[in-house]
Amino acid sequence: MSVVLEPFESAYTGPWLAGVDEVGRGPLAGDVVAAAVILDPQQPIDGLNDSKKLTEKRRERLFDEIQQKAAAWCIARASVAEIDRLNILQASLLAMTRAVEGLASPPEHVLVDGNRLPKWAYSAEAVVKGDSRHPAISAASILAKVARDREMVAFDQQYPGYGFAEHKGYPTKTHMAALDTLGVTPIHRTSYAPIRERLEQIELF
């Protein structure tokens, strides 16, 4: 039975509340992308929700609307090299930190999707499943997902045959088969087991 989550209300009630989310922990390729958004109460945005629960067309429309109406927003990332060096959790936290630091106006309080907070000086709360519980986090999840999906579509042109436009780097059967046939690209995360194992096999021969 599915659990219905209650909307999240922070103790902070001022206008400079930022929502933060990231996308791209699970894929075998590409950066992890984070976004931070401070919504403008005078310009409400209808239909905000967890980006995974929205259609691609809806996400694309909201992506533009969020950028037009938000009081402040920023999209940031941690690179494949940083993921491999730090691990995916620390790279995700780094991307979220960069997103908040990149806001044109610093927030007074930050709501972070998930159960972990970056080590920073901001007043903040972690919100489990926050991308479906608070509109600012929902907006951040949409910006991050659309930005990353667009990058993977571009990589599909740069590295044809892998299917990046369809699976966005996740370990689908198509992706795994392409790795076996075409090999590892520079955008693959070498610290992830399926990639590391293939590189180790090459070194044996």
Burial of 126 per CB tally in 10 Å (0-12, 13-18, 19+): middle
Give CA–CA dist 38/140, Å, rounded. 9
Is 156 assigned a ligand-binding role in the annotation? no
Among 129, 133, 134, 100, which Cα is nearest to 114's?
129
Give CA–CA dist 116/61, Å, rounded. 30
Residues in the chain: 205
Is 125 assigned a ligand-binding role in the annotation? no
Is 113 assigned a ligand-binding role in the annotation? yes
The continuous run of DSSP H or E covering 145 comes out as: helix 135-158
Annotation: binding site: 21-22, 113
Annotation: binding site for a divalent metal cation: 21-22, 113
